[in-house]
Amino acid sequence: MLKRHSTLDSVYTPGKYSFNSITNITFKELVNLNLKQITCWSNTLSDTENFFQKELSIQSSPNFNKGVIEKEFSLWRIEPLKWWLLEKNIALPENLGSSLDLSHSFTCIYISGEKTSVLLNRYLPIDLRENIFPQASSASSAIHHVSVKLLKYSSNNYYLFIPRGFALSIWEILLESSKQFGYEILER
């Protein structure tokens, strides 16, 4: 099996970079990402949702731009006929749709802390207030014309998915802006 290298290897330096001895934002790159994109045919939507409920033992398939967060995995409806499945593998029957492994396509950064929403709003035109963008919400957007996906796990806890080719420049932008809040980079 090929060893996966992070696009951030040369600049990923764990430690605290505080502002007045305060760290309000925490970053952690998720290595060995397991991300599957599952797409159904337009006439198999209901059957695909039933398949998810049975195969993943969930109450219901998530609505558009929402997710189902379980202890071992999460399922996110990224587009009307498209889901992202994190940290679990399932085989979608070919008569329902198709699956694609995106694990090597993205760099995923976990961002948390008191000022996380403030930082993200410097770059994302999304209303991240809790009553508008609650837990288990997702959005497609862009940072400096680079398409990104944002998944909200809980209050001020997000996963940001960046195409690998742009991860280094977005990482540098986020860290530069985080200096004013104080930040910490956790071990991977």
Of 149, 131, 2, 129, nearest in space to 67 by CA: 149
CB 103 within 8 A of CB 55: no
Pairing relationship of beta strands 183-185 and 25-30 according to DSSP bridges: parallel
Residue 2 has pLDDT above 70, yes or no: no
Over residues 135-139, mean pLDDT: 97
- The pLDDT of 149-166, averaged and rounded, is 96
pLDDT band at residue 19 under the 50/70/90 scheme: confident
Q: What is the pLDDT of residues 161-174, one digit of tens each?
A: 999 999 999 999 99
Average pLDDT over residues 93-119: 96
The pLDDT value recorded for residue 3 is 72
Q: Are strands 67-69 and 183-185 parallel, antiparallel or unpaired?
A: unpaired
Q: Is the pLDDT of residue 76 over 80?
A: yes
Whether 118 shows a pLDDT value over 90: the answer reads yes
Name the pTM for this structure: 0.94
pLDDT of residue 1: 54
